[in-house]
Structure 1
């Protein structure tokens, strides 16, 4: 079920919630994504876990992000949302940028039940920048109708080994809206670029030192085109060294396949990770 939530601090988020009894997972999506990016994870765990996905500020149907937005302000917003929804022991799941946000939130929230990081919160290097920044140019573009945007997105994603189906088309259509004359992506290029650059301010050692809960890390090693993975496996060395309660899994799918194609093996790995302890709602 989708709904708008205004938080205790006055921020308005769009969230999508599905029921479950074994605890609450709250999922944070990637840099240019929205709650639909986590559809397959929500589908996999719904019925067992209460699962809440949401549009990070500046994305989807949530309100615009502030001019000083970063992974740190988004972590503050996540904590505000958790407090507003009165989630006592959240399981934080983050993909890509959402992993940075979830890790920072977990470091500030003493009662985090567990933390699930899907290819994020490691070291972003120059190859990460070279992969991401050119892809953001599409946020500048305008379209005379939504089908033009859909066709362009379909070509892009199929080149990335994404299975184009009805769910994928719905997710892409959700990204766009019409202004007075044209259709365009709902996200603002300046906001997205600023948030991306904040990856490079991530104080890994300081954040990890304050995470006490069990952590599941999924590293995606698949190449994006011929440019290699988005995050290098060695970029997670600090995390492996510092976190004693860490389960690490490696997948050969690429960063985008990780969420846009169903990943039953990964779902099973996460389920096993979560089932090793009692989880309270």
Structure 2
């Protein structure tokens, strides 16, 4: 069920909630995504109350502030948790959402578990070269939603994403009409600023304050003819600092990870969530 929630700090978020009785999972999406990016994981973890939401500046949530960063988005997540009166949440983050979830987990006691899906890695210059050119599409205008969807289809299928009704729904949700043309709902400057904040992330300052079980998934698949978004060695510092961590690797690339159905990864997540210290 989708609904708008206004938090104690006065921010309005669009959230999508599905019921379950095994605890509450809160999913944070990637840099240019929205709550629909986590659709497959929300469906798969149907035993859990699962809340996905549009991060500020994305989808149907409020615009992001002028100083937004992974840090401010982490505070927003804590604000949302407090406003919804959620106790002992499981935080699941993909890409940028992994940085956000990790920072939030370091600032809030009583986190049951932390799941990092190919995110919170050490971004390098190769990451910048992969991400920044892809943000140009946020500046474009289109004559119709169909035109936008066609360009998105070309982009995503090149990256190995299976195109179907789900992807149509994802890309059409992320656009709006503006002066007779259609464009992405997100402000390009906000997205670029949030991306640059990846480089401020210090695993030693964050993971040292996280005491719950952590699941880290690394996606090693290349993006087109390029390498992965985050190199495997970019996760070394997290692995060294985290005290209670389970790691896994998938040959899927960063986008296939969320936009294609991933039964093996779902199985690994279910195994992680079933371990005694997460269930208790």
Give TM-score scaled by structure 1 length.
Answer: 0.98
How many angstroms does 1:8 deviate by?
Answer: 0.8
Cα pair distance change 1:126/1:145, threshold 3 Å: same
Q: Structure 2: which 5+ runs fail to align? A: none
Aligned to 2:17: 17
2: distance between equivalents of 1:232 and 1:144? Answer: 38
Q: In structure 1, what is the equivalent of residue 106 of structure 2?
A: 107
Counterparts of 1:235-274 in structure 2, within 5 Å, are 235-274=234-273
CA distance in 2, matches of 1:114, 1:20: 17
For 2:149 and 2:209, the matched residues in 1 are separated by 42
- Matches of 2:73 and 2:84, distance apart in 1: 16
Contact in 1 for aligned 2:35/2:54 (Cα 8 Å): yes
SS of the residue aligned with 2:4? strand
Provide the residue aligned with 2:39 in structure 1: 39
Task: Give the aligned partner of residue 75 of structure 1.
Answer: 74
Whole-angstrom distance in 2 between the partners of 1:233 and 1:49: 30
2: CA distance, partners of 1:277 / 1:87:
21
Establish whether residue 88 from structure 1 lines up as the match of residue 87 from structure 2.
Answer: yes
CA shift at 1:277, angstroms? Answer: 2.3
Per-residue CA deviations over 1:18-40 (Å, capped at 9, x if unaligned) read 00000000000000000000000
User: Partner residue of 1:125?
Assistant: 124
Q: Which runs of 4+ in 1 moved over 4 A?
A: 278-281
Aligned residue pairs: how many? 280
Q: Distance in 2 between matches of 1:224 and 1:213?
A: 32
What CA deviation, in whole Å up to 9, does each residue of 1:27-66 have, x standing for no partner?
00000000000000000002x1000000000000000000
Quick one: distance in 1 between partners of 2:62 and 2:44? 28
Unaligned runs of 5+ in 1: none
In structure 2, C-alpha distance between the alignment counterparts of 1:146 and 1:8, rounded to whole Å? 35
Q: Partners in 1 of 2:250 and 2:164 — Cα distance?
A: 23
Q: How far apart, in 1, do the equivalents of 2:13 and 2:201 lie?
A: 24
In 1, the alpha carbon distance for the partners of 2:179 and 2:99 equals: 35
Deviation of residue 244 (structure 1)?
Answer: 2.1
The answer to whether structure 1 residue 230 and structure 2 residue 229 are counterparts is yes
Pairwise mapping of residues 176-191 of structure 1 onto structure 2 (< 5 A)?
A: 176-191=175-190
CA distance in 2, matches of 1:151, 1:95: 25
